[in-house]
Chains A and B, each alone.
Chain A
Amino acid sequence: MTRDELNDALLRFGGKLERWPQPERDAARLLVKGDAVAAKMLSDFVAFEQTIAEAVHSEPFGATEIGTVLARLDTAEAGWRPSTRFWIASAGISALSFAAGFAAILMVSSQDVAPSLMDLASGKVNLGGLL
């Protein structure tokens, strides 16, 4: 890795080497170990990021902007969750199913065929000697 490549990698991945991809991290550590200028580039970049982090923490920037970021994080991490509309729709479908079943029972019970079917099902009657 050259110093220019180190500079590019710092801009891409930031100043924390442990968060870099393995090949770039190893190459950067090797370079920094043997090159004082590269080592200063790294330490300067870490100081620069520290400045950014402090700016992020300072008011009034943090309150609103970080809230926006955290909201995005929550949305991204939560994945799919049932919404209120989902629960209302589910309850509606359940109620309709119940009503349809109840209506069907009323219709069947109001017809003469129902008792005979029930009797047949329970074995009280023997239709043509089939049972």
Chain B
Amino acid sequence: MIRALPEKQRVALLLAVQGERSNAEIGSILGISEGAAEQLLVRARRTLREKIKEKEGAQ
């Protein structure tokens, strides 16, 4: 499920979840602004949450 995310969203999410990095740090690592990093995380989390809900609904 996480693998299906676009690469930047996936890396941003891993940095947040695994690396416990702040949005500013993620932005710095990826070479983008803090706001852009936030948007990557928002899209990644929203997508995953919807997919998990769909999966739970199907069971």
Main secondary structure of the interface of A (DSSP, over half): helix
Residue of A nearest to B35 (CB): A12
**Residues A65 and B49 in contact, CB atoms below 8 Å apart:** no
For A, the interface residue count at a CB cutoff of 8 angstroms equals 22
Q: Roughly how many angstroms separate A61 CA and B15 CA in the complex, as a whole number? A: 14
- Are A11 and B45 interface neighbours, CB within 8 A? yes
Residue of B nearest to A65 (CB): B14
Judge if B57 is at the interface, Cβ distance under 8 Å. no
Q: Which chain A residues border B3 with CB–CB below 8 Å?
A: 61, 65
Question: How many B residues face the partner with a CB closer than 8 A?
Answer: 26
Q: Does A56 contact B (CB under 8 A)?
A: yes
Residues facing A in B9-59 (CB within 8 A) are 10-11, 13-20, 22-23, 28-30, 38, 41-42, 45-46, 48-49, 52
B residues with CB within 8 A of A: 1-3, 10-11, 13-20, 22-23, 28-30, 38, 41-42, 45-46, 48-49, 52
**Would you mind naming 15 contact pairs between A and B with Cβ atoms under 8 Å apart?**
A8-B42, A11-B41, A12-B23, A19-B20, A19-B22, A48-B48, A48-B52, A51-B52, A52-B13, A52-B17, A52-B48, A55-B1, A65-B10, A72-B15, A73-B15
A interface residues with partner B (beta carbon < 8 Å) = 8, 10-14, 19, 48-49, 51-53, 55-56, 61, 65-66, 68-69, 72-73, 76
